[in-house]
Every structure is written in C-alpha cells, then in structure tokens.
Structure 1
C-alpha cells in the first residue's frame, strides 16, 4: 500500500517497502476492564516530571533527530534503485538483480521490523535506535567497498536489516513523548521533516553522478556518504532523544497494546471487509513500480542518474500532496454518499492511477522535462486511495483494540510478503522483455482489475462499519 505522510492517527506503511508502523495511542478502549490478552489503556496519560507537570523539554530536538533518521533510512533504500544503472554497468548484471535487491529490502522489513521492536522493548528504545540508525550505517559504508556483486549483495542485505528498524521504534517512542491530542501533530511533523530532508538528500547524493558520463565509481561515493550521514543521525539520536519509559505497569500495558499477534490477526479474517482487503492486495502493485521506475527513467527515457534523483524527489513532493488531497476528497465523498463514498473514491483512484502509469511508462518520450512532469503526476495521484480510503476503512471495521494487529497483518506481513515475491520475479521479466512491458502487465492491468474487484465492498463494508462497536465489545468480553 502507498504511504500517507499525513499527521493522523492511522497506521502507515513506508512508501518504498510497504511496512507498517503503529501509533499505539490510537488503539484504545476507554473502559477499565478488558479481555484476556488485550490491554486497556488511558491513551491521554503521560508520565509527569518531578514537578507533576507533563514534561516536553527537548521534544523539538528529538523530533528533528527522529525525522532526520527516518529520512536517512528511507534514502538508503532508494540509493540502490537510483544508482543501479552504474552498479549494473560496474558488475555486469542485468535488471533482474535490481529485483533481487529490492525484494531483500522488503523481506528484511517484514521479518526484522518486529524483531528490532522487541529488542527495543527489552534493551531500551534509544539504545537500539542508536545502534541500527547510527552504528549500522557502517555496513552501508562497507557496501561501497564491495569488490564484486556477490559481496555487494551480502553487505547490502546486512545493511538493510538495520535500516528497517527506525520507523517501528520511533512510532513506539512517540506515544510516551506526547499525549494523544498532540500525537497527530508530532507524527505529521516527523514525517514532514523526513520528507523535506529526503527531497534534499536524494538529489544531493545524486550529484556524484552529475553529467551524461558520470564517474563509474559514483555509486561507491554515494554509499560512503550515505553511510556517514547515517552515523551522524545516530549521534543526533544519542544527543537529543530521551526515552521516558521505565519498567512500569503502564508501560507493560502500552507495549502489550501495540504488539502484533498472529492469533488476533487470524480472528480478523472473520470480518468480510478485512477478508476482501486480503484478496485485493495482490493487485496493489505500486511498490513494484517504485522499485524499477528510477532505473526505467535512465535506461529507457534517456535521462541521467542525477536527473533521476531529481525526478524521484518530485515524486515525493507529489505524494505528500496526494496524501492530503486523498483525505479531503474522502471526507467530501462520505458527506455526499455515506460510507460507500470511500469505495467509490477508491475505484476512481484505481482507474486514475492505472491511467497515470500508462501515460508515464507507455507514452514514448525522451528527455528530463517530460520525465519530471510525468513523475510529479504519478506522485500527485499515488497516495489518494491509501490515505482517503484503505486506512480509514480498515480502522472503521476492526475492533478498536485490534487496530494495530489489523494493519500489521494486512500490510506488514501479507502485503509485504506478496510484494517481495512479485518484485523478485518481475525484475527478471523486465530484463527479458522491457520495463515498459512489465509496467503494463504488472501495474496498469492489475490496477484496472482492482477497480472492478472493489464492487464487492459495496455490500459488506457499510455493514461492517455498523458492527464495529459490537465487535469491540466482543473483544472486551473475550467472545470475539
């Protein structure tokens, strides 16, 4: 699913990997009791300081450090995609290997994201964050010294194991730094910082590949630089971020509320809307597009690697716009059509995105300016359906106590695994045919089919919205 960089209380996957992070503060039940295994917390409580007042000292610097950290980790993932034309030329590998490297990142996020979150709960969130954000950047530095593609693959795989950790840890840290009424602003601020830094960082590192005939070792310089910046982000975390959590009963409940459980996830498939969401996930292939699009611009549209980083920065800016627009359009559709309005908007979005991808990848053109405009157009459509339809719909039907589990089950595990497998395969298809052909059959066609699939939601979704309160009460009673 596409990412929404908005400051809401929904759970949000990464625009590149699809992994999901959770704001545990939005997963509440406000009663005193709860079902076995379900924590019931007061979401608006925060630990007071010694004076009895809520302490926010240093939170501004903490948000800056954490936003910078997320931008660095996301940029490290995009580094390989942007510089793959030079990597492929250096080691004599085809586009199929780009699919392998992209899928490694997705598998790592699916498997190691929960692992690092558990390590953070056990050994301290700040300590683990400094490790995986700062110290782990040395693996990116080491990747720049790879003597052949096999070593690059090994070092890159080790490196991405750490880069997948920051988002779940940071999103688990924020509820302790801000009360619920401030968390939307806090999440929005961090994502705004991350987007702003990322838009600057990508083209800045891309300067190593400036020109029509860039230095063949430009990708190495980029790896060394990005690794060094990652170490810097760890230093900022160590200096500016304070972890207020101590080993208290409230913290145990908070950790319990945000922990993903397979057993709870399986129960959610009894909800028809959730079951239909699983069925549509194989048709959501936008992450396949993102894995290969930068290389496509260089290899088939004739722009330089540096120009490709500028184009992807434009995509990121467009994605911010589409996130905001998606939420507002959804509100308008719901006012006009009721709960079915989100379904209608999603169908319109799916058709629009299929059309945008068709224009961006199937229309023959050459040169930077059309590439920039088409890529900006993609970003301006990219997140409408996710921010305005999918995330709110899942939140509106699952029991409130299991919101985190629902998002993690659908988007971290199910979609993460599906996308990783698809990405692994289509890279070799693109190498055997062309990226243009691959985009047509694995992005445009699935999105068009998905628009038809969404007719199934009209009957079940409004019913599930009406039953959310009942199912929430069932969870509290232990009968769900």
Structure 2
C-alpha cells in the first residue's frame, strides 16, 4: 500500500476523505483535515469537562442549598473520579471492539442527558446519583480524544495538537467560569447551569456524529501506510497480552506513578471555595479567578506545546522530559506562594491563578506525546485510559476526598499548602527518573515500527 492511500477504511456513514501524505522528513503522515477533526472532538471535551466546573465554581451555593457540608464537594468529585477508574478503560475497550466514533457520540449524548437530570437534584443522594451517572459516560472522552489526537498528528506535531486542544477547552472555560459564577446571584441559578451545559453536550455530540471522520488507528504513523489491511488488523487488535505488555515499558509505568502524585488539579476543583472560605470573598467575586486561570492555561498549552515540539526536534531524547519537570516544580512553588498569604484584593489572586493556569497548561502538550512516543499505536487508547481515567482519576479522587475532610478539620489553607504545593515539588523531583528510561523506550518503539514497515512485501 502506498503512502497516498487511506490508512484505514471509513466506517459506515462517514464520507470519503482526501488521501493522507507523508511529512517532509518521511517519518510521519499528514492526515487530511486533521485540525478540523480535532476541533470537533475538542468541543465535546469542553462540554464534558464543564459539568465538573459547574460544581466547583458554584459549590458554595449548591452545598448550602441542598443542606450539605464542605466535605461533600470532595466526596462528589472523588466519586466521579472513582467511577472513571472503571469506565475509562471500559469505554476504551468498547470503542476498540465496536466503533470509536459511535462510542464517543453515544457516551457524550448520555452524559449530556445525565447532566440535565443532575439539575433536578433535591438532596445529597440525588446530586451524587446524577453526578455519578454523568461521570460514567464522561469517562469515555479523555482516553478516546487522546488516542484520536495521536492518530491525527505525527510525532513532530503532537505536542502542539494536544496543547491547542486543551488550550481551546481552557479558553472556553475561562469565558464560562465568571458567567457561571453569576448564577450564584439567581435563585436556583445553579440548576439552570446544569440544564444549559447538558444541552450543549448533546448538541456538540451530534456535531461530531454529522461531521467527524475517524482517521483510523495509527493513521499518522508512516509505517502504517506501507502495511496491508491484514497486517493493520493484526496490529490494531487489542488483547490482554498487549495490555500486559504496556507494563513492561518503564517510561509508561513511571508516567502512571507521576500521575498518582499530581495534586495540581485541586486548584480547579477547590480553588473558588478556598477563596470564599479562607479569605472571605463572595462566590461571584471568587469565581473571577477562573477567567485568568483559563487564559493562563490557554497560554500554557500554546507556549508549552510549541516549546515541547521545538525541544523535541532539537533534543529528541530529553526535551519533553525537561518541559514536564519544569512545569511540575514551578507549579508547586507558585501554589505555595499564591495560597499561603492573604494578598488582599481579588486582583492579586487572579494574577497568581493566571500563572498557575499557565504552568498547568504545559501538561497536555507534553505528557500525551511522551506516552505516544513509547507505546505502540494499537495500545495507545488503553494507555491513555490507564493514565488518565484510572491512575490520574484515582489520585484526583483520593486528593479531593482528603481535601474535603482536611478542609473541614484544619482549613483549606493547609490543603493547598500540601497537595498543590509541596506534593507537586515532589512530583517534579520524581520526573528525573524519566531522563534514564525515556530515550531507551522511544528508540525501542522506533525500531518496532520500522521493523513492521520492513516486514511488508515490497517495502524497502
């Protein structure tokens, strides 16, 4: 099969697309319409993740309205992430065994309907039920979109692609955050927020169904273009043996552990209520920090993705690791300074939140490409499910649960010192181990893909 042929047959209901072409260096494939396709699934990712934003931004209003305490916020977020631990890999498996696009659309529609239903909650039990059901379907988005991004973009451009995706999500979230905060001034306004976001999730899912064309597993790999359909079918099949094989890749195992010690996401889930309870801001005023945080995150994804790709081209064996380590160490240091002193007006806190957003924004553009560089294409969906939907979700659930209880017992100031602060410094030091494992694992995958291409009849 020549490089100008389709890397995978179109699924039912999809339109034929222009043929892909090799990148100038011949090591990757430029998939036709890749930015348009990424924008379609990225829009759904924004809608899926804003159900959590609604709860985080309006927690100071929702909890009293339903007669529940601060610890409930940690319990709810923890429950959602615990559910993702199970359903993230489940949906990745279903998508591989059936149809990736249909799985993505159906789970997004179901998540939207569950979000709408959450707006009718009358107490802790019904809020937990609605939030949990939503989480079960939202869990599909992270692994599927991460895998699709790796299939749309080659090794040299994955950092920018992941960065732009999460940058767009952050930009929309930054605009929506302060608007969501204003719902605190409307009677039962938080309910309208759930209704609105649920509707948006359904609409964006339908847009994916109508306009998105799945590129196929491994579409951005040059080796895939020279394989026969039978060879791709064998390589694309996900088996338990292949899943176990992922745990023999040292870099991937280290990335899983690195996600377990990532406390930075608490800034998003507890940041607003922290400012309300610790420094006395109203919910509407405290919610203002979501705008600079989101804009900072956008800047971080754009700058981080571009810098990651540039450093990778210049220093392919350690450039990405340096970016990841810098982001973790700097985030921990800034989080301590930002949260452990009363800086007075919301403006100073907003500036710190912008810097935290910037540093957190470096992560999508670097950790996904690191995984893609060491894990074979057919295993990446499962790899992302494990990293994002199991290990990161488990850590996030544990941290949020711990934050809720510690917040009630000792105050959220102590929580912010230890989890987004000191723990992230430890995380940054842990990344040092990747300087040893990453070069070896990346070379091993390059050799594997090269051997696959050479095993094809007629391939030099």
Give secondary structure in 2 for the equivalent of 1:284.
coil
Which among 304, 310, 326 is matched to residue 304 of structure 2? 326
* Deviation (angstroms), 1:472: 5.7
Aligned twin of 1:274? 252
| 1:98 matched to 2:98 | no
* Deviation (angstroms), 1:173: 6.8
CA distance in 2, matches of 1:129, 1:144: 23
* Deviation (angstroms), 1:398: 4.1
| 1:444 matched to 2:421 | yes
Q: Is contact 1:43-1:179 (8 Å) kept? A: no
Aligned twin of 2:56? 81
Give secondary structure in 2 for the equivalent of 1:294.
helix
Structure-to-structure mapping, 1:19-418, within 5 angstroms: 44=7, 47=10, 66-119=41-94, 128-134=103-109, 136-169=111-144, 194-209=169-184, 214-215=185-186, 217-237=188-208, 239-241=210-212, 262-330=240-308, 339-384=317-362, 387-388=365-366, 390-399=367-376, 402-418=379-395
Aligned twin of 1:12? none
Q: Is contact 1:258-1:404 (8 Å) kept? A: no
Structure-to-structure mapping, 1:425-440, within 5 angstroms: 425-440=402-417
Task: Give the unaligned 5+ runs of structure 1.
Answer: 1-29, 32-41
Q: Is contact 1:399-1:475 (8 Å) kept? A: no
Aligned twin of 1:423? 400
* Deviation (angstroms), 1:354: 1.1
Q: 325-334 or 284-293: which moved more? A: 325-334
CA distance in 2, matches of 1:429, 1:64: 39
* Deviation (angstroms), 1:129: 4.5
| Cα displacement string for residues 211-237 of structure 1 (whole angstroms, at most 9, x for unaligned residues) | xxx345221222222223334334544
C-alpha spacing 1:114/1:306, structure 2 compared with 1 (3 Å): same
* Deviation (angstroms), 1:45: 5.2
* Deviation (angstroms), 1:359: 1.9
Give secondary structure in 2 for the equivalent of 1:453.
helix
Give secondary structure in 1 for the equivalent of 2:265.
helix
With normalisation by structure 1, the TM-score equals 0.73
CA distance in 2, matches of 1:61, 1:338: 28
CA distance in 2, matches of 1:232, 1:443: 35
CA distance in 2, matches of 1:155, 1:273: 37
CA distance in 1, matches of 2:376, 2:104: 31
C-alpha spacing 1:202/1:123, structure 2 compared with 1 (3 Å): farther
C-alpha spacing 1:95/1:471, structure 2 compared with 1 (3 Å): farther
Q: Is contact 2:167-2:302 (8 Å) kept? A: no
* Deviation (angstroms), 1:375: 0.8
Q: Is contact 1:259-1:405 (8 Å) kept? A: no
Q: Is contact 1:99-1:426 (8 Å) kept? A: yes
Give secondary structure in 1 for the equivalent of 2:47.
helix
For the aligned residue pairs, the C-alpha RMSD in angstroms reads: 4.5
CA distance in 1, matches of 2:153, 2:441: 30
Q: Is contact 1:103-1:423 (8 Å) kept? A: yes
| Cα displacement string for residues 10-44 of structure 1 (whole angstroms, at most 9, x for unaligned residues) | xxxxxxxxxxxxxxxxxxxx99xxxxxxxxxx874
Give aligned pairs, total: 432
C-alpha spacing 1:411/1:194, structure 2 compared with 1 (3 Å): closer
Task: Give the unaligned 5+ runs of structure 2.
Answer: 21-30, 217-226, 455-460
* Deviation (angstroms), 1:85: 0.4
CA distance in 2, matches of 1:345, 1:448: 14
Q: 90-99 or 105-114: which moved more? A: 105-114
Q: 298-307 or 368-377: which moved more? A: 298-307
CA distance in 1, matches of 2:415, 2:257: 22
C-alpha spacing 1:154/1:464, structure 2 compared with 1 (3 Å): closer
With normalisation by structure 2, the TM-score equals 0.75
Aligned twin of 2:457? none
C-alpha spacing 1:475/1:406, structure 2 compared with 1 (3 Å): farther
Q: Is contact 2:164-2:302 (8 Å) kept? A: no
